[in-house]
Amino acid sequence: MQSSFLYGANILANGIRQHYLRFGGKDGERAGRDAVIIVPGITSPAVTWGFVGERFGQQFDTYVLDVRGRGLSSASETLDYSLDAQAADVIALAEALGLERYAVVGHSMGGRIGARAASQQPRGLTRLVMVDPPVSGPGRRAYPSKLPWYVDSMRLAREGYSAEQMRAFCPTWTEQQLQLRAEWLHTCDERAVIASFEGFHTDDFHADLPALKLPVMLMQASRGDVILPEDVQELQGLLPQLVVSRVEDAGHMIPWDNEAGFYAAFGDFLGAPL
């Protein structure tokens, strides 16, 4: 299959440098379909989602974002790393790119960013896919991953950890996946990651949902405990239009565990099957 990768680029949006990778473009059948912005999780620079961007780019004009404080986007000790700022980034990015119609596909933290952005009902945002988003928040059970897992692995990455050494943190990943994580994890600003992790427990994700008026998909991993059956029921109560898909044989990092199942789970929700 011919690569759909076009280029990586930076753009000034919401007052910061936002870096993204673009796949696909607007030619052919993609011209009649909504663009897609992919928003990765808490310690996933855009490049680590490049293989997903490649597949999406076959069908859609696709942009994989470096969330502020990750990858090549802006990071600093004074930058606002709140959920509101991250959501505003996505809306501003779409406006700066001139996207008239676009969907957001957000994994984990990216799903919460997408929901906060969609709750503001921005012009042009047509669909939202939340891939295994944390459902923790005030008065709710804690997010199952622990902060030291992130902080320790980032520290070691800054010191120059190899892919094989990174295996202790991600034992089921392939050599290629480990190499990318070992190469790029050091670009995640520890302050950004800590702020986002704390936000998993202080931001009220569920309060955003009743304001969502667009079609929404929740993608659930069959393994792990980020999304439990009772969570699905609660989310369906808050979002009557919610479409639920489930990926078997996959933990929280769904496309890493079952890539084919991940693509299949979208069906034609975005306008064309993957």
Q: Give a yes or no: residue 168 inside a domain.
A: no
Q: Give a yes or no: residue 131 inside a domain.
A: yes
pLDDT digits (tens, 9 = 90+) for 12-22: 999 999 999 99
The pLDDT value given to residue 92: 98
Q: Give a yes or no: residue 215 inside a domain.
A: yes
Helix, strand, coil shares, percent, the chain, to 5: 40, 20, 40
Q: Give a yes or no: residue 157 inside a domain.
A: no
pLDDT digits (tens, 9 = 90+) for 37-60: 999 999 999 999 999 999 999 999
Q: Give a yes or no: residue 158 inside a domain.
A: no
The pLDDT value given to residue 213: 96
Tally the domains of the chain: 1
- Tell me which residue of 40, 198, 144 sits closest to 51, measured CA to CA: 40
The pLDDT value given to residue 1: 76
Phi and psi angles of residue 10, each rounded to the nearest 5 degrees, phi first: -120, 150
DSSP conformation letters of 167-204: TTT-TTS-HHHHHHHHHHGGGS-HHHHHHHHHHHHHS-
pLDDT mean over 221-231: 94
- Tell me which residue of 49, 47, 30 sits closest to 99, measured CA to CA: 30
- Please check whether residue 134 is in contact with residue 108, taking contact to mean a CB–CB distance below 8 angstroms: yes
Q: What is the mean pLDDT of the chain?
A: 97
Task: Give the percent of the chain with pLDDT over 70.
Answer: 100
Task: Give the percent of the chain with pLDDT over 90.
Answer: 99
- Please check whether residue 190 is in contact with residue 42, taking contact to mean a CB–CB distance below 8 angstroms: no
Which pTM does this prediction carry?
A: 0.98
Residue 139: pLDDT over 90 = yes
Q: Give a yes or no: residue 118 inside a domain.
A: yes
Domain assignment of residue 67, given as a range? 5-137+203-265
Residue 224 pLDDT grade (very low, low, confident, very high; cuts 50, 70, 90)? confident
Q: Give a yes or no: residue 79 inside a domain.
A: yes
Residue 151: pLDDT over 90 = yes
Q: What is the DSSP letter of 98?
A: T
CATH number at residue 238: 3.40.50.1820
Bridge partner residues of 35 (DSSP): 102
Q: Give a yes or no: residue 163 inside a domain.
A: no
pLDDT digits (tens, 9 = 90+) for 57-111: 999 999 999 999 999 999 999 999 999 999 999 999 999 999 999 999 999 999 9
The pLDDT value given to residue 66: 98
* 224/132 Cα distance (integer angstroms): 10
Give the DSSP H/E element, type plus range, for residue 46.
none
